[in-house]
């Protein structure tokens, strides 16, 4: 089986683009990724497009209408917060299976404002406030409180995640929010769902990211090995049975299973990683995912953030992009934007936030909703 490589990748600055369309944003990212590879849409043999909120509206085909109707196969993917990573992974699978040598993956989303997680019932009954809460800040607050229950994790420790990620964002010109937020400010900002304050919630933004994936044969033929990044693992899981699954979507076991599968596929372990982009949709999520990805032992996530080990310059820098807390979280784009961040570091092009000497990085996205389920994708990338 051939190795698969990223040979072109880019993202548009995440932000609010009310006068633009999903197709417009996705098209811009697709062209940026093709330019990064020095290739044309005519070189692409398939398109994998991740978008959640227009999942039935053929976003991939609409992007091709803007950049070239070459008639290639298009797969439109939707998979909660793993949407972009799922589309990308379908491209990786096609390359590794030998179907194609060059494919394009695009992730794009245009978000509204406000809380996610709702949904209306056919009978008109409003569950929110009666059957607990289905807002995502509340669900991830309950996930965090479950960690507090087991290990005594504190509000302050959760809040430090936001301080760290917002600090990292000051070095990322493509992040939506780029300002320092001291601990007192994070802890005293509006309480959304205890213990997640407003500054501990990811921002709803519009965004798009895209990648060109190539087989080893294509990389060598095109002379792109100097800018290629090898995909050492590309894994996807759905939420397995847990006793609490009926009340709270599982984001822990689904991530542990996915990370384990990725480490096995790559023949690597968490100690081999130089940086991680993980799914900090809420500050509480980053804490539990430290353990789910094996960055520390169970129960040590609070100590990890206290000791600054996940900050730039620490043992294992996490969310150098500023994470979803600062960069923003355009659902379908997030999974490819994370790959873009890690690729920048592996290429040595991350500017002032560069993790020096980075050779191996991991990306993780994980999401789901109450009463439905969860999805997780993990990729491990290596400087080629």
**Does residue 125 bind other proteins (CB under 8 A)?**
yes
**Does residue 192 bind other proteins (CB under 8 A)?**
yes
**Does residue 334 bind other proteins (CB under 8 A)?**
no
**Does residue 171 bind other proteins (CB under 8 A)?**
no
278/196 Cα distance (integer angstroms):
18
Structure tokens at 64: 């091709």
Structure tokens at 72: 């290639």
Q: How far apart are the first and last CA of the chain?
A: 17
Give the footprint of other proteins on residues 342-381 (CB under 8 A): 370
Q: Is the peptide bond before 324 cis (omega within 30 degrees of 0)?
A: no
**C-alpha to C-alpha distances, 51 to 2, 48, 92, 262, nearest whole angstrom:** 28, 10, 18, 24
Q: Give the nearer residue to other proteins in terms of CB position, either 243 or 313.
A: 243
The one among 13, 15, 38, 132 contacting other proteins by CB under 8 A? 132
**Does residue 191 bind other proteins (CB under 8 A)?**
yes
Other CB atoms within 10 A of residue 74 CB: 17
**Does residue 129 bind other proteins (CB under 8 A)?**
yes
65, burial (CB in 10 Å: exposed 0-12, middle 13-18, buried 19+) = exposed
Write down the least CB distance from residue 195 to other proteins, Å. 8
**Does residue 135 bind other proteins (CB under 8 A)?**
yes
Q: Give the nearer residue to other proteins in terms of CB position, either 144 or 317.
A: 144
With b for 16 or more beta-carbon neighbours within 10 A and e for fewer, the 204-241 pattern comes to bbbbbbbbbbbbbebbeebebeebbbbbbbbbbbbbee
Write down the least CB distance from residue 144 to other proteins, Å. 8
Write down the least CB distance from residue 245 to other proteins, Å. 7
**C-alpha to C-alpha distances, 111 to 50, 194, 203, 204, nearest whole angstrom:** 14, 24, 10, 6
The interface region with other proteins, picked from 88-96, 104-112, 125-133, 310-318 by CB under 8 A, is 125-133
The interface region with other proteins, picked from 240-248, 270-278, 291-299, 375-383 by CB under 8 A, is 240-248
The one among 112, 124, 313, 357 contacting other proteins by CB under 8 A? 124
**C-alpha to C-alpha distances, 18 to 5, 40, 376, nearest whole angstrom:** 34, 29, 29
**Does residue 244 bind other proteins (CB under 8 A)?**
yes
- Which of 298, 297, 339, 342 has the alpha carbon at shortest distance from 317? 342
316, burial (CB in 10 Å: exposed 0-12, middle 13-18, buried 19+) = buried
Sheet bearing 275-277, strands edge to edge: 74-77, 47-50, 102-109, 207-215, 4-11, 229-238, 373-383, 360-369, 275-277
Instruction: Tell me which of 81, 201, 366, 376 is the catalytic residue.
Output: 81
Write down the least CB distance from residue 131 to other proteins, Å. 6
**Does residue 133 bind other proteins (CB under 8 A)?**
yes
Active site residue 364: no
The one among 126, 183, 225, 297 contacting other proteins by CB under 8 A? 126
The one among 57, 225, 247, 297 contacting other proteins by CB under 8 A? 247
**Does residue 156 bind other proteins (CB under 8 A)?**
no
Instruction: Tell me which of 166, 167, 168, 329 is the catalytic residue.
Output: 329
Interface residue list for other proteins (CB under 8 A): 115, 118, 123-133, 135, 137-138, 141-143, 145-146, 149, 190-196, 241, 243-248, 370
Catalytic residue numbers read 81, 329
């Amino acid at each position: 089986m051939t190795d698969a490589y990223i040979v072109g990748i880019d993202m548009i600055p995440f932000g609010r683009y009310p006068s633009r369309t999903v197709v417009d944003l996705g098209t811009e990212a697709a062209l940026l990724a093709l330019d990064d590879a020095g290739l044309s849409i005519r070189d692409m043999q398939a398109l994998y497009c991740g978008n959640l909120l227009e999942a039935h509206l053929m976003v991939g085909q609409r992007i091709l209408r803007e950049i070239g109707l070459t008639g290639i196969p298009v797969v439109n993917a939707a998979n909660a917060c793993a949407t972009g990573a799922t589309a990308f992974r379908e491209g990786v699978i096609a390359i590794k299976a030998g179907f194609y040598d060059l494919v394009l993956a695009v992730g794009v989303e245009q978000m509204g404002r406000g809380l996610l997680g709702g949904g209306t019932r056919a009978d008109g009954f409003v569950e929110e406030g009666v059957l607990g809460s289905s807002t995502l800040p509340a669900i991830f607050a309950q996930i965090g409180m479950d960690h507090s229950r087991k290990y005594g994790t504190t509000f302050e420790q959760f809040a430090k995640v936001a301080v760290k990620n917002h600090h990292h964002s000051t070095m990322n010109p493509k992040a939506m929010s780029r300002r320092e937020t001291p601990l007192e400010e994070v802890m005293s900002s509006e309480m959304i769902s205890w213990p997640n304050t407003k500054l501990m919630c990811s921002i709803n933004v519009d965004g798009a990211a895209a990648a060109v994936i190539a087989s080893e044969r294509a990389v060598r033929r095109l002379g792109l090995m100097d800018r290629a990044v090898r995909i050492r693992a590309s894994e996807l899981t759905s939420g397995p049975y847990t006793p609490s699954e009926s009340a709270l979507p599982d984001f822990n076991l689904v991530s542990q299973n996915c990370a384990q599968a990725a480490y096995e596929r790559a023949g690597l372990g968490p100690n081999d990683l130089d940086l991680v982009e993980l799914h900090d949709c809420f500050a509480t999520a980053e804490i539990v995912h430290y353990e789910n990805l094996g960055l520390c032992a169970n129960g040590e996530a609070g100590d990890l953030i206290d000791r600054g080990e996940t900050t730039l310059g620490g043992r294992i820098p996490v969310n150098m992009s500023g994470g979803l807390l600062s960069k923003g979280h355009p659902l379908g784009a997030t999974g490819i934007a994370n790959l873009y961040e890690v690729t920048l570091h592996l290429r040595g092009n991350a500017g002032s936030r560069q993790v020096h000497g980075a050779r191996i990085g991991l990306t993780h996205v994980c999401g789901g909703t109450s009463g439905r389920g969860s999805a997780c994708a993990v990729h491990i990338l290596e400087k080629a």
